[in-house]
Structure 1
Amino acid sequence: MATLKDISNLEDIKLMVNTFYDNVRKDDLLGPIFNDKLQDRWSEHLEKMYGFWQTILFDVRAYSGSPFPPHKQLPVDKTHFDRWIQIFNTTIDKQFSGTITEEAKMRATNMAFMFNHKIEYFRNPENQ
């Protein structure tokens, strides 16, 4: 078995993001939500994700903005975020291995936890 390399450049990020979202689009649970939300704007979303991950992993200011607001109203719960992380980790582990790869998985897990927590907070009227 060939040794997998670590995520090290923009081309690696594009491979990671494209493969991950290809898997999401085909997923029975997540696919309908993403496909309904993005419709014909997938290329725009992918470009944002390239910049987001460049910023997160390489400290390159390729993304600005707040990632949470577009997700706030999605019909998702912990089950969706758990599936998102499972697909993310499975996808990335087939392609890469190393310190930055582990950082990406940790950041994705933390982001999913935070997004789920914030969505639950905003949905629960007694928290307002």
Structure 2
Amino acid sequence: MAILTDITTLEDIKLLVDSFYSKVQKDQFIGPIFNEKIGSRWPEHLEKMYRFWQTILFEVHSYSGSPFPPHKQLPVSKEHFERWMEIFIETTDSLFVGPLAEEAKIRAKNMAEMFNYKIEYFRNAEKN
């Protein structure tokens, strides 16, 4: 059994992102939503995610943009975000251990909670 280390390089981020989204694509609950939205653009999405996590974890400012707008109209609920987090934590814990791995899980949890809150907010605002 390999000894797990922390996330320290861009290659580590690529491993995390590729492993995570490979599981997401196959997941029966959230996979269809991602696959329908992203379609054949998975390579571009993964590249964007590498830059996003590099910016978040290494403070290398390779990502620019606003991550929320593309998610605003997705047909998702709290349960979808919970499943997303389960897969993210499981993937991270299977590959890495250390402060940046923990930071990645905290950041992912905060992002999932914020996205869920904002999506619900916009849905409720549109009803009124």
1:71 Cα offset (Å):
0.1
> 5 Å matches for 1:41-56?
41-56=41-56
3-state SS of the aligned residue for 1:73?
Answer: coil
Corresponding residue for 1:58?
A: 58
In the alignment, structure 2 segments of 5+ residues that lack a partner are none
1:2 aligns with 2:19: no
1:19 aligns with 2:19: yes
Matches of 1:76 and 1:118, distance apart in 2: 12
Counterpart residue type for residue 15 of structure 2 = L
Tell me, yes or no, if the aligned pair for 1:6 and 1:96 is still in contact at 8 Å. Answer: yes
In the alignment, structure 1 segments of 5+ residues that lack a partner are none
1:100 Cα offset (Å):
0.2
Deviation string, structure 1 residues 47-83 (Cα, Å, up to 9, x no partner): 0000000000000011000000000000001000000
Counterpart residue type for residue 26 of structure 2 = K
Tell me, yes or no, if the aligned pair for 1:20 and 1:91 is still in contact at 8 Å. Answer: yes
> 5 Å matches for 1:59-74?
59-74=59-74
Tell me, yes or no, if the aligned pair for 1:85 and 1:108 is still in contact at 8 Å. Answer: yes
Query: Alpha carbon RMSD of aligned pairs, Å?
Result: 1.3
> 5 Å matches for 1:19-38?
19-38=19-38
Corresponding residue for 1:40?
A: 40
1:122 aligns with 2:122: yes
3-state SS of the aligned residue for 1:66?
Answer: coil
3-state SS of the aligned residue for 2:74?
Answer: coil
TM-score of the superposed pair, with normalisation by structure 1: 0.97
Corresponding residue for 2:101?
A: 101
1:32 Cα offset (Å):
0.3
Matches of 1:83 and 1:125, distance apart in 2: 25
3-state SS of the aligned residue for 1:6?
Answer: coil
Tell me, yes or no, if the aligned pair for 1:5 and 1:97 is still in contact at 8 Å. Answer: yes
Counterpart residue type for residue 11 of structure 1 = E
3-state SS of the aligned residue for 1:23?
Answer: helix
Matches of 2:116 and 2:127, distance apart in 1: 15
Matches of 1:27 and 1:56, distance apart in 2: 25
Taking structure 1 as reference, are residues 127 and 59 closer, same or farther at Cα in structure 2, changes over 3 Å only? farther
3-state SS of the aligned residue for 1:76?
Answer: coil
Runs of 4+ in 1 over 3 A off after TM superposition: none
